[in-house]
Structure 1
């Protein structure tokens, strides 16, 4: 049993930070949190307990990112004079085609995983490409790293360049092959079914993927209502379906409490009802949505509607992987939203809410992750001491780390109670 000593902060609920100044997180030998206390009771003192003393440092939950494109990591910061669909054609599709080369994929996926570790993102849901070998390689590298993400082979059988499209049958067969192989070789890295978005998947492909979801009881990730041009395109392709969200639902690609839908900038009330009923995680990619001029999600209205909303990066639709930056951007975008006509009364996000949306809400996709409540896995970051001319509280120091900190401030990273060293040091 271990007790991690430091200034402990987490958000069991979104309304406030729970703070234990110079406190302890007590963790069992399996990496599960037993308790969080301000001082150790005698029962713990008498137990076989190892004190891990990080006095003066912050101890916070690790970040969880439910929407990131692993092969796009080399593109971060490119092409933001374009909007979404043109950006895909000019940058994303040409770059993803390169991952047919396994050596090239191995190099860039090592760099991507190291960037996730560096930023303190300990679990994530990643789109790969449609290439089976390189997708499996990404999963194998994640397994080696000690991080615990889910990864999906991207499915595309229409409306893409010839060099980046598969037949329907090849896409389905390749997906099933990866499901089986990953279960044998990467036990800590889950597989997630990943139709890129409705315009790139035929009805036959979506129907086949829905059958795989049901057969193997798998989660699903895709994109929804990111840009107005995209929504119009879906309407042209599926004029008989009332909404974009209901296309996924029709084909079994919105399994209850196992679905991630990215962006959701332009939801209708009808779609909100569907997403709430299906218990979908909505990923709010504020930086990406501004980089590509897609819009600003009305986060407060989605939260008030009872939807599960989390903060996500969407690298390389955004230009940086660091989740603390995306927490900041989510807060700032919610403030900007209040300047829109009709949104003046919307309440901006508070920092505790946005932090909750980057830790506990996305962590719930993986189980009991993202908080220090009893029974949760000990996924944690140790953030170094912060110098200031002011006598700052732990919460104020956390605020400074979120707004101005970077990977150099993170001293240690723990996943399920295990200290995770830097993976692939030659690829940083």
Structure 2
């Protein structure tokens, strides 16, 4: 296979550490006139154009962007494929919203043709918004996951997904059994996990919709395949937390349910965590588990405000999630806009560099993939974006007033959306062009 080497010239910015741990200045690298060199789908060099250009062959293909910023691809640590068709559904909080909108919408995924159609729309939306890796809930139907992975494999995307396990407290047309969920999940794992850049996540929807038998088998799958992911929901809504107490009176609390069934671990991602206490944050951190912070969804469903400073205090891994369809946008730029407000409402501040970290390296660390994605360091996958400073008239005008990269980044996160993403690259291939 011939060596394919390309270079991309623009302003370049990426996170290299968590600002909460090393301070803002040491947390990122910025090249005002930068060069990114890609060899066979991986990054081989990053630096100042003036320093790198003399080291490259004269005939190398260089794409030069004006008024643009290259960043790592965004990482969405919590999103639902089957809810694409009901995003922006009016007027309910979590439990009523599930029954009124979500379950009927998810029932359509019994049909493989429908699953194929939505998987195509869903992946195009991710890429249009600059999301190159996502941790995805399917529906209870195995075909939802097959459709998603088939579409992702064609583009060589790094994606993680799983079939929902749900054997109680849901409509009959949408439940599996403890045994069938185990058998179907195992077949999907054997088919997809580790194939190309695809990974499988064991996916009990949340504690109220799984029997103890099903949660036991979810834990068994994790012990049988040590590098699997686990994704579920936790402490999103106060009524949900009360419900968990009623269903599992023998457990200390919501997290303890999952802990008891051995679902905590280095590749376990719990969505929301809005109402976690200090002890639960400490236990999540101790087990290497992560939280997906979903500000847009938490606002939209009236769930509450995630306590990011508390998570930082416990050195808990946190990624950002759009949580479509509870969240109302596939755009992680828009999601970071909401995250800023969540932190503001708690009397704290979210720096644009911490936001960049959450959407890139923080998400990669939550997924234990920081050696492959989340930065632009040599040796990582060439998953990156080109953000256009002139995407809209207002953005263009506002960025002309920006005095430094911090201000530029913050404006991109407040005024930016899918229109800001000029191009998305995955494994060095152009997978979206605005």
TM over 0.5: yes
Residue pair 2:34, 2:46 contacting (<8 A) in 1 also: no
In structure 1, the residue matched to 2:312 is 303
Q: Which residue number in structure 1 is paired with residue 188 of structure 2? A: 178
The alpha-carbon distance between structure 1 residues 160 and 42, as it changes in their structure 2 partners (threshold 3 A), is: closer
CA shift for structure 1 position 350: 1.2
Of the three residues 192, 197, 216, the one matched with 1:188 is 197
Which has the higher mean CA deviation after the structures are superposed, 47-56 or 220-229?
47-56
1:254 is the counterpart of 2:226: no
* In 2, Cα distance between equivalents of 1:71 and 1:42: 46
How many Å separate the matches in 1 of 2:86 and 2:94?
A: 14
- Cα deviation, 1:182-221, whole Å, max 9, x if unaligned, reads 248x532211100000111111111111111111121100
Which deviates further from its counterpart, 385-394 or 200-209?
385-394
- The residue aligned with 1:88 is 98
Aligned to 2:359: 358
2:273 to 264, 267, 270: 264
The offset of 1:102, in angstroms, is 1.4
**Is contact 1:33–1:377 with CA below 8 Å preserved after alignment?**
no
C-alpha deviation, 1:49, in angstroms: 4.4
Gaps of 5+ in 2: 391-395
Q: Does 1:348 align with 2:349?
A: yes
- In the alignment, which residue of structure 2 is the partner of 1:344? none
* Conservation of the 8 A alpha-carbon contact between 1:31 and 1:418: no
Give yes or no for the alignment of 1:31 onto 2:42. Answer: yes
Instruction: Name the residue aligned to 1:384.
Output: 388
Please say which of residues 38-47 and 355-364 is displaced more in the overlay.
38-47
Q: Distance in 1 between matches of 2:147 and 2:38?
A: 32
The answer (yes or no) to whether the contact 1:26–1:36 under 8 Å persists in 2 is: no
Identify which range, 15-24 or 301-310, moves more after superposition.
Answer: 15-24
Q: CA deviation at 1:403?
A: 1.6
Is 1:64 the equivalent of 2:75?
yes
Q: Judge which range, 175-184 or 386-395, deviates more.
A: 386-395
Distance, in Å, in 2 between the alignment partners of 1:312 and 1:22 is 31
Equivalent in the alignment of 2:393 = none
Structure 2 CA distance for partners of 1:242 and 1:408, relative to 1, 3 Å? same
Q: CA deviation at 1:43?
A: 6.1
> Is contact 2:9–2:49 with CA below 8 Å preserved after alignment?
no
Residue 374 of structure 2 corresponds to: 370
> Matched residue of 1:146: which SS?
coil
Evaluate the alpha carbon distance shift between residue 132 and residue 41 of structure 1 in structure 2; reply closer, same or farther with a 3 A threshold: closer
Aligned-pair CA distance for 1:178: 1.1
Q: CA deviation at 1:371?
A: 1.2
Cα contact 1:2–1:51 (8 A) shared by 2 = yes
Alignment CA distance shift 1:31-1:48 (3 Å): farther
Q: 2:430 aligns with which of 416, 419, 428?
A: 419
Structure 2 equivalent of residue 342 of structure 1: none
Shift of 1:294: 0.8
Q: Equivalents in 1 of 2:319, 2:180: separation in Å?
A: 33
**Contact between 2:41 and 2:429, CA under 8 Å: does it hold in 1?**
no
Match of 1:343?
Answer: none
The corresponding residue for 1:200 is: 209
Any stretches of 5+ residues in structure 1 without a counterpart? 339-346
Alignment partner of 1:400 is 2:401: no
CA distance in 2, matches of 1:45, 1:375: 17
Is 1:2 paired with 2:11? no
Q: Taking structure 1 as reference, are residues 219 and 47 closer, same or farther at Cα in structure 2, changes over 3 Å only?
A: farther
Q: 2:342: which partner in 1?
A: 333
Question: Distance in 2 between the 1:289 and 1:126 partners?
Answer: 18
TM-score between the two structures when normalised by the length of structure 1? 0.91
Offset, 1:248: 1.1
1:48 CA displacement: 7.3
**2:233 matched residue in structure 1:** 223
Please provide the CA RMSD for this pair. 2.0
Indicate if the aligned counterparts of 1:193 and 1:219 stay in contact, CA closer than 8 A. Answer: yes
1:70 Cα deviation from its structure 2 partner: 0.6
Aligned-partner SS, 2:132: strand
For residue 345 of structure 2, give the secondary structure of its aligned residue in structure 1: helix
Quick one: distance in 1 between partners of 2:45 and 2:132?
21
Q: Please state if 1:285 is matched with 2:289.
A: no
| 1:65-117 superposed Cα distances (whole Å, 9 cap, x missing partner) | 010001001111103x2110111011111110111111122212211111111
- 1:320 is paired with a residue whose SS is coil
Native 8 Å contact 1:28 1:34 kept in 2? no
- Larger deviation: 44-53 or 116-125? 44-53
Q: Is 1:68–1:126's contact at 8 Å kept on the other side of the alignment?
A: yes
So what's the TM-score if we normalise by structure 2? 0.90
Distance verdict in 2 for CA 1:335–1:267, change over 3 Å:
same
Q: Distance in 1 between matches of 2:52 and 2:386?
A: 23
Q: Distance in 1 between the 2:158 and 2:189 partners? A: 16
- 1:156 Cα offset (Å): 0.4
State yes or no: 1:213 paired with 2:214: no
Deviates most, 66-75 or 380-389: 380-389
Deviation at 1:351, TM superposition (A): 1.4
